[in-house]
Chain A
Amino acid sequence: MKDALVITKRQLLQLFRVPEVLIFSTIQPVMFVLLFRYVFGGAINTPGVDYVQLLMPGIFVQTVAFTVAGTALGLAEDMQKGLIDRFRSLPIARSAVVVGRTLGDATLNVVVLVVMAITGLLVGWRPSSSGLEILAGFIFLLVFGYAMSWMGVLVGLSVRDSRVANSVVFLFVFPMTFLSNAFAPTTGMPRPLQYVAEWNPVSTMVAGVRDLFGLEPMFGATANSFPSQNPLLMSMIYIALLMAIFIPLSVRKYKNVAPK
């Protein structure tokens, strides 16, 4: 565990040495907030509730879902540079490097979420629930991001090339975040897509976080499906599933990984 923290520290040190990374990884979600708030928001009809209230949980979830990209990219790059080989030749636990990396990415998420929340407040986001519930919402987001990060470990160690890691991740995370209730009501989608969107972990997360921030969880969804009824429970199941699948697979992969 101590070794893992050394790896985490290394990652945070990188942020100080190359602050551009931190700046650009926060600019993107901030841009999304502004784009959806002022560009697309006007075209999306949300009777009875201000769009920005619905939007913010969506963008929070999208951002933490993309942790998978950060983790995958970072590990693929370490792989390419031969750093993983070096780490594997050290007398440290086999899990230290990947645990350290995921913790580092989780820490980065804290920073990004804070910056986004401030941006949100500036453009009119006002969560209506209690402080405790809001805090619970953010913790929920971080845990989801952490689970996604483990998926990134497997991707990064498997593709072993940062460019490939990038395209692989975008190929499935982009549709995953848009094929959801994050930005627009699912009722506008063709029937089969509505089902996909409702069972999508991103949707259940968004709905769960909306709930915790004091909103009607779904907007315009077919309200009788199980995930629409129990978004928080469903999200917890998804998080547990992600971790149960990807943590053991990732650690096993790390043990036997070899660079290209």
Chain B
Amino acid sequence: MPRLRLAALLTITASFMLAAAASAQQKTTIGVSLAQDDNPFYIAMLRGIRARAQELGWEVATVSANEDKLKQINGVQDLIARGVKGILISPIDAIGVNAAYDAAAAAKIPIVSVARGSTSPNQTIHVAMDEKQIGRDIAEWTAGKLGGKGKVALLMGPSGAPTFKNLGDGYAEVMAKYPGISIVFRADGPLTRERGVKQAEDALVANPDLAAIYTANDDVALGVMQAVNAANRKGKTLVTGMNGVPPALRAVKEENLAMTVELNPVEWGRLGVDVLNTFLQGSKVEPHVFIKHVIIDATNIDAKLPKT
């Protein structure tokens, strides 16, 4: 029996390794550490990274953390051990994974944050959206639709991630200018559809006359939409998203989702690679690079729908 056990373990590990062994290479390799590998935003971003890297003749090595900070530090260490020339990272948290930046700096490897950023002094460049401005733009749009009055719920992102705090701060800053609008519900949580359903259900039970629900992410918005439709509040409670992923665009077309913000994560990935490339060639790059955003609603959705 012990032999059987050994054989089972070895067969499994060996088969995965042999599958991977084919990827031996001599080209420039860059490392990519994603906060999650199952969120459409990061999946699209990675697609952009891979596409741009291929054009440059680079290899891409990826590690994923699935929102586990320690795992992200470990993954970056593994990338460094692998000998990558530069790292693109989307840090889970502004402080928690600073050890990853320290490790890259110690190995003299540039580390560029894409999307979420870090407080680490060793962050080479931060490629990001203008978060507060997006929050303000969503709030202005929402306030306009509501005619400046109504109850609003905020479904923010994971606690501790500055992106979602900045978005929410920008949003709240604008809403504070409207005396008729009150924020009656505010909650943090992971960027999942499941959590959107649950929190929206709770928010709607507490405030059946909610006029709008802000969400920090399209996946959350898609969950919120389900709860709003189940409560027969479609068209009465505006749901706003953020990111512009394809299912959210379809939802805007079907008028389940009032609006979303197109961030075009594929372009983020491409921009991240370009910024890293410029840096590696020795040119000067500003420490903060902003990506432009576009509001998508019923007026421009037809031009934005993915071609099928």
| Same complex | no
Residues in B lying within 8 Å of A, measured CB to CB = none
